[in-house]
Amino acid sequence: MKNTVKEKFNAHASQYDEQRRKLIPCFFDFYSIPVSLLHFSKKPLRILDMGAGTGLFSSFVKEKYPDAHFTLIDVSDQMLEKAKE
């Protein structure tokens, strides 16, 4: 039986971030450059991350905007559990 997308992401949630660090050349640049282009002055800042996965990108944004309120949405329950950690 073919696994659903949700089942596949749930199965790999615990290793997802580590795998991305190994597979993406210039991993830090891949995430930090887009964050460097973000400029928000409105407060309080509310950010919606759709397809958030483990919250990896949101964690980079959180470093720049520590007081921001984040809402993360993802099809994978296990990915969101990792994001909460």
In this structure, how many other beta carbons lie within 10 angstroms of the beta carbon of residue 52? 19
Give the model's pLDDT for residue 2: 56
85 vs 79: CA distance, rounded Å: 10
Rounded CA Rg of the chain: 14
Question: DSSP state, 3?
Answer: P
Domain 5-84: CATH superfamily is: Vaccinia Virus protein VP39 (3.40.50.150)
Give the model's pLDDT for residue 14: 93
Question: What secondary structure does DSSP assign to 41-68, as a single string?
Answer: --SS-EEEEET-TTSHHHHHHHHH-TT-
Residue 69 tokens read as 């309120």
Query: pLDDT tens digits, the chain, 85 residues: what are they?
Result: 457 888 989 999 999 999 999 999 899 999 999 999 999 888 889 999 999 999 999 999 999 999 999 999 999 999 999 999 8
**Hey, where are the domains in the chain?**
5-84
